[in-house]
Structure 1
Amino acid sequence: MTHAFRRRARNIADHAILISGSVLMCLPVYGLFAATTHAPGTPMQPRLDPGGAFVANYSAFLTSSAGFSGDITVAAMLWNSFVLGAGFASLKVAVSLLAAYTLVYFRIRGASAIFAVLLLTLMLPLESRFLPTYDVVAQLGLVNTEAGLIFPLVASGLGTLFFRQFLLTVPDAMLESARLDGAGSWKFFRDILMPLSAPTAAALFLVLFVNGWNQYLWPVMVTSEEATYTLVRGMQFFGRASLPGLMLAILAIVPPCLLVILFQRQVVKGLFDGSH
């Protein structure tokens, strides 16, 4: 009886700590959100009481023009952010999986050295490559384009590492069975490895989507036309203490947070368990 009581007390204490930490982390964001639900003219400061102007405020804000030229709306910036995040994540996952497949299943001379170089790129901050990358993008005429935003950031040493470690756990018997059935390299990759890699790919996609959604410095460098601005880039149009500025901050925070909250179990399973 005493042992069961102690175990239950420990569980209650653990849950209390987790709940308290979650509340402390979410409370500032909720305070800002509650402030944006009050009518315009209300002092913009964090508060706990929600107002009744949520629908009116956000519907008008999404369709309002932004910037100095008025060439973009908040909804368009939201779409640009989604395109950047989704394109960034999709291409990174695809390139990383193909690179890992090549390193693991093909007899390439110096494969270990190539993989070591890929890992070294993890130690270089992204900002250190901006100037030469921008020069290449400008010479290709990709400034102020979606391709210029996405393609230079596609290579990923981290994604290749995750997929390589996963592919090394795939039994060699699968490859031998596929060869006995007459499957070539592409068929083996498409029909066997891709389905097996789906949990890892989905988890990595979500992490990379959030990373792409939050990109700021690279969009600042490669976009100068307001029609190409993302939500994060568009924050310069509004004051930090104004109602539009707070609503834009909420719109930039909520989508990636919701994705992580809704799919956190799949993220953990995909990154650490794969299909085991």
Structure 2
Amino acid sequence: MAESPFASRGASRIWAHFWMVLGVILVVFPVYYVFIASTHSTQTILRPPLPLLPGPEGLANYGDALSGGIGQIGGVSLWRLLGNTTLIAVGIAVGKIVISMASAYAIVFFRFPLRMVCFWLIFITLMLPVEVRIQPTYKVMVDLGLIDTYPGLILPLIASATATLLFRQFFMTIPDELLEAARVDGAGPWRFFRDILWPLSLTNVAAIFVIQFIYGWTQYLWPLLVTNSNEMNTIVIALKKMISFADAETPWNLVMVTSVLAILPPILVVVLMQRWFVKGLVETEK
């Protein structure tokens, strides 16, 4: 007797859900484990196995961390570290969007000599990650006096070939009729961008903002190089400084609290902008 297609479809759905749930567990469990550790004392964390339920030290740990109880990072408050990281992440995301939109707009809607050469030169920079450009970029920052400053942390990271490519691909899907209608209406380049192109690009902007915000939030190497003062540290650098070579000297409960607080902002950005993020990626592929 032939197998029913409905039974086969049901089995496939069960397997799909099984692998999806397994994937979620593998991704979420480490985050849950860090949260659980943040509610226990250092002694409990160092004495395995760690309980899988929240402990009684949670309020004390979070209160200690948020009130400046982290001493391994020069006495800088956690609020200052989170503020630094947020400012850098937002600055990088906004800077990348502005520069990428402007360059993609010029490449797609303007005709000038060597237009495609400029695009391919931008695209080739994908082969040059920050690590390759560290030395000359650092020298430029020193010469400009931008060490231990927010511009020094943000400006070298705001150029993005990937975002330029995504905006270019989206702009190329804009119907020629819209451009012709704008010309007939007497709209100049700025008005066309402001009244037509910008509203159509909002979902793409949201998607790229989420990606670049997380990119900026997780930066480690560049902030480590261009900051000498603890006041300019990011949350990622602070986490590294909190960990000592000896486990007994590391306040693991505060490290876990800091880790949880460092994870929350990117999660909130993704959750709050999830619909726009997915829609922007789908529309970009069209």
- TM-score relative to the length of structure 2: 0.90
Q: Does 1:180 align with 2:180?
A: no
Over aligned residues, Cα RMSD in angstroms? 2.1
Q: Distance in 1 between matches of 2:71 and 2:9?
A: 58
1:256 maps to which residue? Answer: 266
The whole-number CA distance in structure 2 between the counterparts of 1:3 and 1:260 is: 38
Q: Distance in 2 between matches of 1:72 and 1:65?
A: 9
Moved over 6 A (4+): none
Q: Does 1:16 align with 2:18?
A: yes
2:167 is the alignment partner of 1:163: yes
Worse-superposed segment, 170-179 or 27-36: 27-36
**Are residues 5 and 258 of structure 1, via their aligned partners in 2, closer, same or farther at CA, if it must alter by over 3 Å?**
farther
Q: 2 CA distance for matches of 1:67 and 1:174?
A: 59
Label 1:69 to 1:8 Cα distance change in 2 as closer, same or farther (>3 A).
Answer: closer
| Corresponding residue for residue 29 of structure 1 | 31
Q: What are the within-5 Å matches in structure 2 for residues 260-275 of structure 1?
A: 260-274=270-284
The percentage of aligned residue pairs carrying the same residue is 41
Tell me the CA shift for residue 60 of structure 1.
1.9
TM-score normalized with structure 1 length? 0.93
Worse-matched range after superposition: 29-38 or 219-228: 29-38
Contact 1:31 / 1:47 at 8 angstroms: preserved in 2? no
Which letter maps to 1:10? S
Structure 1, unmatched stretches of 5+, are: none
Distance 1:56 1:65 in 2: 11
What is the aligned partner in structure 2 of residue 64 from structure 1?
68
The number of residues matched between the two structures is 276
Q: Identify the residue that residue 157 of structure 2 maps to in structure 1.
A: 153
Say whether 1:38 aligns with 2:40: yes
How much does 1:75 deviate? 1.3
Distance 1:68 1:38 in 2: 19
Q: Conserved in 2, the CA contact under 8 Å of 1:85 and 1:212?
A: yes
Q: Which amino acid aligns with 1:23?
A: I
Taking structure 1 as reference, are residues 69 and 217 closer, same or farther at Cα in structure 2, changes over 3 Å only? closer
Deviations 1:162-217 (A, max 9, x none): 00000000011111111111111100011110111110011000000000000000
Q: 1:66 to 1:133 in 2, by over 3 A?
A: farther
**Alignment deviations for residues 17-70 of structure 1 (CA, whole Å, 9 cap, x no partner):** 100111022112211210111245423465411123323311220221546674
- What residue in structure 1 maps to residue 84 of structure 2? 80
Q: 3-state SS of the aligned residue for 1:37?
A: coil
In structure 1, give the amino acid aligned to 2:68: S
Secondary structure at 2:44 match in 1: coil
Structure ranking higher on relative contact order (CA contacts 8 Å, 6+ apart): 2
d(CA) in 2 for partners of 1:233, 1:213:
11
**What is the CA–CA distance in structure 2 between the aligned matches of 1:48 and 1:262, rounded to whole Å?**
28
Structure 2 residue identity aligned to 1:106: F
Gapped regions of structure 2 (runs ≥ 5): none
Deviation at 1:120, TM superposition (A): 0.6
Partner of 1:113: 117
